[in-house]
Amino acid sequence: MLTKICGIKNEDAAITAAQAGADYIGFVFASGKRQIAPEDAAKIAESLPSSVQKVGVFVNETVERMLEIAETAGLDLIQLHGDEPPEVAESLPYKIIKAFPMDPDRLTNIQKYPCDYYLLDSPFGKNRGGNGTTFDWNLTEKLSLDPSKLLLAGGLSPENVTKAMKLVMPAGVDVSSGVETNGVKDLSKIKRFIKTVKSFGKDESIDNIYNA
């Protein structure tokens, strides 16, 4: 199960996530409390092993600016978290994660969007993502998406992520506020979250071996 820790702003949190087994580290370049400067993201990225992919999160940014930031920060993927049309995704020479809020009005033709991963998030609140609220995970079944391209976000935490994975069976999960304490990344929560995700399914496999 792929694991993405988003909203990283300091090296300690990034290294903790990497050492715990995170597959993706997310840097937010859109306005908000988790925004980071491209130069600061670049310094953090340099401290990470090549096995950890760096994701840049953008909201309705110009293609030119996204390319500039991606180059500066050394990004591997671009996450489009706004109202970007398909043409924007097609023009970017990077793997694309496209976020979709679980709002019926915003899910039209989701299957046709040109992206490597669909990130299903909670409906928009004050911010585009990172609102710390869950949605009805059963709704994902109605979208008929390829599970190997599905990432689940929205209010996930060490306490509820196992239930979410069992219901949705996505390719991966994405967390930000769920591994924070008082708005700051909590190293203990990061480790617990990743351990919980990475151990998902292992107990069941062992049980199947012994019960065969």
**130's torsion region: left (phi>0), alpha (psi -120 to 50) or beta?**
left
* Overall average pLDDT of the 11-31 stretch: 98
Is position 121 annotated as part of the catalytic site?
yes
Phi (first) and psi of residue 199, to 5 degrees:
-90, -5
DSSP string, 76-120: SEEEE-S---HHHHHH-SSEEEEEEES-GGG-TTGGGS--SEEEE
Task: Encode pLDDT of 58-89 as tens digits.
Answer: 999 999 999 999 999 999 999 999 999 999 99
52 Cβ contact list (under 8 Å, min separation 6): 17, 18, 22, 23, 24, 25
Q: Is the pLDDT of residue 208 over 50?
A: no
Quickly list H helices, 104-176.
Answer: 161-168
In the chain the domains, ranked by start, together with CATH numbers, are 2-211 (3.20.20.70)
Judging by DSSP bridges, how do beta strands 117-121 and 150-152 pair with one another? parallel
- In DSSP terms, which residues pair with 58 in a beta bridge? 80
Phi (first) and psi of residue 96, to 5 degrees:
-120, 130
* Overall average pLDDT of the 159-186 stretch: 96
Q: What pTM was computed for the model?
A: 0.91
Give the active site residue among 6, 23, 115, 174: 6
Give the active site residue among 103, 121, 136, 146: 121
Task: Encode pLDDT of 119-145 as tens digits.
Answer: 999 886 555 555 668 888 988 888 889
